[in-house]
Chains A and B, each alone.
Chain A
Amino acid sequence: MELGAPLDRVEGWDKVAGRARYSGEQRVAGVCHAVAVQAEIAHGEVLAVDATAARAVPGVIDVLAYGDAPALADTSDFELAVLQSPRVAYRGQIVAAVVAETLEIARHAQRLVRVTYDELGHDVELTPDHPGLYRPEKISPDDPPDTGEGEETPAEVSVDVTYETPAFHNNPMEPHATLAVWEGDHLTLYDSTQGAAAQRDALAALLGMPAERVRVVAHHVGGGFGSKGVPPRPNSVLAALCARRVGRPVKLAVTRQQMFSITGYRTPTFQRMRIGASKDGRIADIEHHVIEQTSTAREFAEQSGVVTRMMYAARARRTTHRLARLDVPVNSWMRAPGECPGMYALESAMDELAEACGIDPVELRIRNEPERDPDSGNPFSSRRLVECLRLGAERFGWSSRPEPGTRREGRHLVGMGVAAATYPAAARPAQALARVADDGSFTVSIAAADIGTGARTALTQIAADALGVPVARVRVEIGDSALPYGPLAGGSMGNASWGWAVLRACEGLRDGIARYGGAEPGLECRADTSGEIKNQEAYARHSFGAQFAEVRVDVDSGEIRVPRMLGVFAAGRVMNARLARSQFVGGMVMGLGMALTEESRMDREFGDYLNHDLAQYHVPVNADVLGIDAIWLDDPDPHANPLGGKGIGEIGIVGAAAAIGNAVHNATGHRFRRLPISPPSVIPHLP
């Protein structure tokens, strides 16, 4: 059995040797470099772009701007209608581009481009009572903004609190880069994307080309966390336009600073939680009211309240989402959109309810287990939250949790916290091709993406297992839109979707080999899972987990350290134990950053994110990460998909910040309801 085994990453040696080529690293003859010029106002119109000085620099090939750029066929999405209108919707929007022989020349000339604007006033600040708040038609991906059921009844114990989270930026280590190559009327984009096929379809539509004439290649992607999803980012479109214009291959790498305005981020939120319960902690009414921002350039309604629709039993339940449309960069997916900020609020409120009822927070959650999915009324395909909580409590030593604000060790206040985690487990239709290669080995092809998740490795294991051969005899080809269609790496659906198609293709090939009487080179089988997925039974499919954290708060400096974190997950069948641990732990590390250090600060004056680099936006570094571990239940879910896996890319971040916040409350006795919990906010509340 290859499935589940802790195999090394199949591309691991390429990565440690520096051989793995990421986007823009391909060697192409005649390549030139493009650099984007960004708007310096947050709202208004471009009056003129004066490129005289830039064009005079030897080595500058061309300058593109509105009115002087190739036209796009589809301009319905303003964010992607790059250089198609004079309108400026946010600071940092692309308003021009310089193409030059070298990067040095392009960067120099970029600074010489003079853009003048007709500036209209901007509104960039989300407030809980913003006058423009409106109810979106739907929230991501396709859900109602508001839900309500049951009658509110007077409660014995109630919690009514509001949590605030700042904007967060995905910040994958590899900045978005594109190498655009036109050959006649064919376009090849080497592009940092989480979905080569979806990227191809989107680019083809924008350029008004049939999809067959566009190819997107992304063999290795240096992380994405949602920021390299679809719809594409404007930089990919710009690269294609520049290359068409100059008639040469063009490389365009977004800078780290530019990423803070053009490659997406998570909206800030205000989340009001109202929970009414009986004294014994049984929830009667629960409400979750979400306030978020969206950009005038494109609407994105993060589904933060959906967790309250399905997490706990209650007699009455209400969730709402309201947005303010601001002159801000386009927010979009960031690891566990919806679940991540939503569970921060819900799981913090559950901790407050536990305290108000005088019940252990682990026990409180167990008492409110629903029998069926409260949202859909469907049974859960499997829901092992209680086991995760119990196992975690035992392993973590939860019984030694102190009373709030009572444990002091030297200069430190010490506390523990818990939070639940959940993430939907869905699959999307995919196609795969399995064939016998000339040397008798097997090749499996699918336009999947490995953004660091281990997809290439897991698919190799799935294929080997289905074919009944050692992994060494299987080669999996991914990361190219020319391969059979695969959906993007997102929503923790990648492996479930691709793996399903790979499984069916390999099963079919195995049958074919049996019928033929041998593994004849050229034998192949194609699979398409759309029919099977359409006919799936009605279940509520979710992963679950429990996060535990211990914190030490320095009473002098207010610094918070997290010596221990433990995540226990029930996330379906695990395809590769070693890689799965890395995924869970990686999500928890990002949750640590969310809790304690990460925050994108809006600059009211200029209208964009002020701390737009890695020196000022603090992602966790090695010294921040002490004892973080993840374990999981053996949990194949036959109702999820034929492989029994549920997706593990996102659940690790869900609940992590709440567990840390709850531990800080346990340590200090004070409740902090705004992230990140940083020394300046902590110090006033220390003894």
Chain B
Amino acid sequence: MERGETAVRAEIALRVNGEERRVVADTRTSLLDLLRERLGLTGSKKGCDHGQCGACTVLVDGRRVNACLALAVAHQGADVVTVEGLADGDEPHPLQRAFVENDAFQCGYCTPGQLCSAVGVLAEAARGWPSHVTADLAADGVELDEAEIRERMSGNICRCGAYPGIVAAIREAAGGGTAR
């Protein structure tokens, strides 16, 4: 865009945490900024805005995505789940409970991203998607042992160093380590 030009705006329709949302927004708006600044969903965090920390991780059509790297306008019609949408009404998601019980955070700023990422990990393992440390690439499911969890969660930085708690919480939520 050149100097003086007016921003291009577009109507963006999304399903966010089960609700239809329509916003007219600058087409340069990232999905993260749309959530935080336009929809008031500040649960998703901005740690770097460059896809380097994972604090902004949300689920888009069931897959984990760095919302800071996604242009909102490119996700018309998508189904977005943020940390605010993980609980089932008043009933916390098992991962939310496990994070509290295993003290899987300190400052909590990376936590929404860790949680959404972990939801993604459980689904990926259930589908049998291998990771860099998976020994048997042909197996039906992946056993989420500590090495698998660490590997798959390494896109989510925690400067407080709560990693041991994060791994313990995900193992617990994965049902003692397996998600088949």
Whether A622 contacts B167 in the complex (CB less than 8 A), given A173-B109, A614-B48, comes out as: yes
- Secondary structure dominating the interface of A: loop
B103 adjacent to A173 (CB under 8 Å): no
Q: Does B74 contact A (CB under 8 A)?
A: no
Interface residue ranges of A51-77 to B (CB < 8 Å): 53, 56-59
B49 adjacent to A588 (CB under 8 Å): no
Which residue of B6, B43, B45 is within 8 Å of A19 (Cβ)?
B43
Q: How far is the CA of A163 from the CA of B55 in the complex (A)?
A: 35
Q: Which one, B59-67, B92-100, B122-130, B136-144, is touching chain A?
A: B92-100
CB distance from B72 to the nearest CB of A (A): 11
B106 adjacent to A223 (CB under 8 Å): yes
CB distance from A23 to the nearest CB of B (A): 11
CB distance from A369 to the nearest CB of B (A): 30
Which residues from B are CB-within-8-Å of A582?
Answer: 103, 106, 160, 162, 165
Which residues from A are CB-within-8-Å of B13?
Answer: none
Which residue of A13, A255, A579, A619 is within 8 Å of B157 (Cβ)?
A619
Q: Does A264 contact B (CB under 8 A)?
A: no
A104 adjacent to B100 (CB under 8 Å): no
Inter-chain CB contacts under 8 Å: number: 192
Which residues from A are CB-within-8-Å of B86?
Answer: 17
Q: Does A222 contact B (CB under 8 A)?
A: yes
A585 adjacent to B161 (CB under 8 Å): yes
Interface residue ranges of A214-232 to B (CB < 8 Å): 220-223, 225
Which residues from B are CB-within-8-Å of A620?
Answer: 161, 163
Q: Does A441 contact B (CB under 8 A)?
A: no
Interface centre among A18, A27, A173, A223 (most CB of B within 10 A): A173
Q: Which one, A277-285, A414-422, A450-458, is touching chain B?
A: A450-458
CB distance from A574 to the nearest CB of B (A): 14
B159 adjacent to A171 (CB under 8 Å): yes
B167 adjacent to A223 (CB under 8 Å): no
Q: How far is the CA of A586 from the CA of B110 in the complex (A)?
A: 14
Q: How far is the CA of A451 from the CA of B45 in the complex (A)?
A: 16
CB distance from B84 to the nearest CB of A (A): 5
Q: Does B153 contact A (CB under 8 A)?
A: yes
B52 adjacent to A614 (CB under 8 Å): yes
**Contact size range, B:** 35 or more
CB distance from A370 to the nearest CB of B (A): 32
B153 adjacent to A622 (CB under 8 Å): yes
Q: Which one, A4-12, A480-488, A523-531, A635-643, is touching chain B?
A: A4-12
Interface centre among A57, A225, A590, A614 (most CB of B within 10 A): A614
Q: Does B171 contact A (CB under 8 A)?
A: no
Interface residue ranges of B134-174 to A (CB < 8 Å): 149-151, 153-167
CB distance from B131 to the nearest CB of A (A): 10
Q: How far is the CA of A256 from the CA of B159 in the complex (A)?
A: 13
B45 adjacent to A625 (CB under 8 Å): no
Whether A108 contacts B52 in the complex (CB less than 8 A), given A9-B100, A16-B115, A103-B33, comes out as: no
Q: How far is the CA of A623 from the CA of B132 in the complex (A)?
A: 11
CB distance from B164 to the nearest CB of A (A): 6
B47 adjacent to A173 (CB under 8 Å): yes
Q: How far is the CA of A102 from the CA of B28 in the complex (A)?
A: 11
Q: How far is the CA of A582 from the CA of B162 in the complex (A)?
A: 7
Q: Does B101 contact A (CB under 8 A)?
A: yes
A586 adjacent to B149 (CB under 8 Å): no
A-B contact pairs, 19 of them (CB 8 A): A9-B103, A12-B100, A17-B43, A18-B41, A18-B43, A18-B82, A18-B112, A20-B108, A104-B26, A174-B47, A221-B107, A223-B106, A452-B107, A613-B50, A614-B53, A622-B149, A622-B154, A625-B150, A625-B164
Q: Please report B residues at the A interface, Cβ cutoff 8 Å.
A: 1, 3-7, 26, 28-29, 33, 36-37, 40-50, 52-53, 55, 82-84, 86-87, 92, 96, 99-101, 103, 105-112, 115, 149-151, 153-167
